[in-house]
């Protein structure tokens, strides 16, 4: 249902600049905003901010004075404290989440007679729940999901289609496992015996703590012994790989295609951008940040920002990048210096020859003087 800009502003505790009577019925990105839509401006400077006819744009309070001259009867700005958060609220109003279905345990699902399922939990058709499994209250086990034997799931867990939990996995409360995630496969461990690679058995488990979100097709390997741990509140993007015996701290953020080798540990609030790779047994200190494609071969100090391959402190890497950008100019300067050195070498040779000839002439005069002096004295 469409709503006026004035009503939206009141709901968001904002201030309107421009036409308060415009009707808004959807949220869009600023690049695609059109008549009837609302978007937000992410910048902190008025440069780049343009009114959109028939649309409302959420802006930060510090831009209100600069945006006022741009407002007119064909558009509107809504001044709020946090434009992005305001847009999320508005988007939720126009596109509310679907109500959670109440299907209970489908007759087309397989649930072991020894499994215990909490109240208000949905197990969709095609899901499998193994022997000895404990599933908490208000969980959703979607089609194709496989919960191995003796797994334990807390309350309000969502297991999306085709997720696989191997035997003996431990999952906390309010955990989300997106489609295709695999929890508890054996780690990549082999030993060479008689020229053959023999698999090392893995006897441990995986423990996922409360409020963790695991992205689609992400894999978390079971420990060889003890536990692979994903700490409370940590969020893993799609296609992340966590090796055996890793212990990930609380509230970490790992973007897509991050890969951790075995026995890596992290502190809290660690951030890894896309395609970061961590060698085995490394430790990432709390609040450290690793830039895209960083290759880490050792420990990262607490609170530090590292980038590059191999990963180095951010400032050091940027200095190297700036130096590389100057290489063409430095190459020209080097060639110029080579030419100058060659010219100086030629001049030096000429000077040496001149000095040598002068010394020979002087020595001849000295000999002549030595011979002629006794003759003069005798005369």
Q: Which of 178, 244, 251, 283 is catalytic?
A: 244
- DSSP secondary structure letter of residue 7: H
Q: Could you tell me the two tokens for 198?
A: 């023999």
- The Cα–Cα gap between 340 and 348 comes to 12
Please give the backbone phi and psi of residue 176, each rounded to the nearest 5 degrees, phi first: -120, 125
Q: Mapping DSSP to helix (H, G, I), strand (E, B) and coil, where does residue 353 land?
A: helix
Number of H helices, E strands in the chain: 5, 39
Q: Which long-range contacts (CB under 8 A, 24 or more apart) does 96-100 make?
A: 100/140
Cβ neighbours of residue 101 closer than 8 Å, sequence gap 6 or more = 122
Of the candidates 363, 361, 189, the one whose C-alpha atom is nearest the C-alpha of residue 262 is: 189
Q: Which residue has the tokens 């079971």?
A: 222
CA atoms of 323 and 321, how far apart (whole Å): 5
What Rg do the C-alpha atoms of the chain give, in angstroms? 36
Assess contact for 262 and 280: CB atoms under 8 A: yes
Please report which helix (H) or strand (E) contains residue 301, including its range. Answer: none
Pairwise CA distance, residues 68 & 352, whole Å: 79
Residue in 232, 179, 241, 228 with CA at minimum distance from that of residue 210:
232
**Contact (CB, 8 A) for 24 and 38:** yes
Measured between alpha carbons, how far is residue 352 from residues 252, 345, 360, 363 in Å?
71, 10, 12, 16
Q: What is the phi-psi region of residue 184: left when phi exceeds 0, alpha when psi lies from -120 to 50, beta otherwise?
A: left
- Residue 124 annotated as catalytic: no
364 vs 22: CA distance, rounded Å: 108
The residues annotated as belonging to the active site are: 244
């Amino acid at each position: 249902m469409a709503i006026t800009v004035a009503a939206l502003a009141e709901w968001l505790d904002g201030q309107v600049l421009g036409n308060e009577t415009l009707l808004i019925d959807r949220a869009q990105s600023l690049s695609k905003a059109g008549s009837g839509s609302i978007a937000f401006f992410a910048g902190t400077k008025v440069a780049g901010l343009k009114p959109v006819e028939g649309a409302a744009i959420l802006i930060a309070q510090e831009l209100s004075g600069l945006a006022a001259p741009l407002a007119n009867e064909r558009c509107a700005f809504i001044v709020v404290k946090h434009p992005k958060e305001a847009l999320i609220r508005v988007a939720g109003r126009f596109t509310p989440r679907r109500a959670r279905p109440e299907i209970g345990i489908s007759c087309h699902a397989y649930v072991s007679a020894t499994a215990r399922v909490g109240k208000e939990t949905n197990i969709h058709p095609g899901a499998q729940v193994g022997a000895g499994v404990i599933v908490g209250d208000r969980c959703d086990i979607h089609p194709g999901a496989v919960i191995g034997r003796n797994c334990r799931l807390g309350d309000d867990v969502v297991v999306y289609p085709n997720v696989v939990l191997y035997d003996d996995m431990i999952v906390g409360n309010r955990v989300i496992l997106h489609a295709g995630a695999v929890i508890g496969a054996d780690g990549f461990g082999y030993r060479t015996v008689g020229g053959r690679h023999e698999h090392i058995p893995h006897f441990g488990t995986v423990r996922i703590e409360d409020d963790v979100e695991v992205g689609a097709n992400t894999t978390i390997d079971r420990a060889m012994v003890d536990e692979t741990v994903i700490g409370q509140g940590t969020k893993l993007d799609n296609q992340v790989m966590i090796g055996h015996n890793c212990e990930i701290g609380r509230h970490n953020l790992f973007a897509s295609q991050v890969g951790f080798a075995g026995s890596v540990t992290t502190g809290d609030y660690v951030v890894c951008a896309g395609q970061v790779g961590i060698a085995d047994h490394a430790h990432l200190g709390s609040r450290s940040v690793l830039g895209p494609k960083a290759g880490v071969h050792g420990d990262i100090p607490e609170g530090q920002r590292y980038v590059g391959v191999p990963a180095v402190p951010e400032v050091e890497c940027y200095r190297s990048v700036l130096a590389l950008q100057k290489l063409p100019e430095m190459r020209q300067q080097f060639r110029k210096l080579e030419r100058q050195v060659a010219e100086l070498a030629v001049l030096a040779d000429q000077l040496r020859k001149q000095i040598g000839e002068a010394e020979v002439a002087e020595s001849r005069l000295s000999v002549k003087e030595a011979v002629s002096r006794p003759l003069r004295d005798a005369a």
